[in-house]
Amino acid sequence: MDVLYQDTSPNTVRLTITAPHLTNPELAQYLYLNYNDTKTVTGLTFTPVFSLWQGVATVYSQTLSKNNLQAATGGKYDIQLGFQTAGGLSGQFNGGDKVVFDITTSSGSLSSFDFAFKSVPGAAGSFYAAAFIMQTGNGEKANGYIGASTFTSVSVPEPVSGMTAAGLGLFGLVLCRRNGKTTPMAE
Q: How far is CA 121 from CA 59, 114, 133, in A?
A: 30, 18, 20
User: Do residues 5 and 112 touch, judged by C-beta distance below 8 A?
Assistant: yes
Judge if the upstream peptide bond of residue 184 is cis by omega within 30 degrees of 0. no
* 23-32, 81-90, 128-137, 140-149: range with lowest mean pLDDT: 140-149
Residue 140: which pLDDT band, with cuts at 50, 70 and 90?
A: low
What is the reported pTM?
0.80
| Residue pLDDT, tens place only, 46-68 | 999 999 999 999 999 999 999 99
Domains in the chain: boundaries: 2-185
Domain spanning 2-185, CATH class: mainly beta
| Residue pLDDT, tens place only, 14-39 | 999 999 988 888 899 999 999 999 99
> What is the C-alpha to C-alpha distance for residues 137 and 116, in angstroms, rounded to an integer?
31
| Residue pLDDT, tens place only, 69-79 | 999 888 999 99
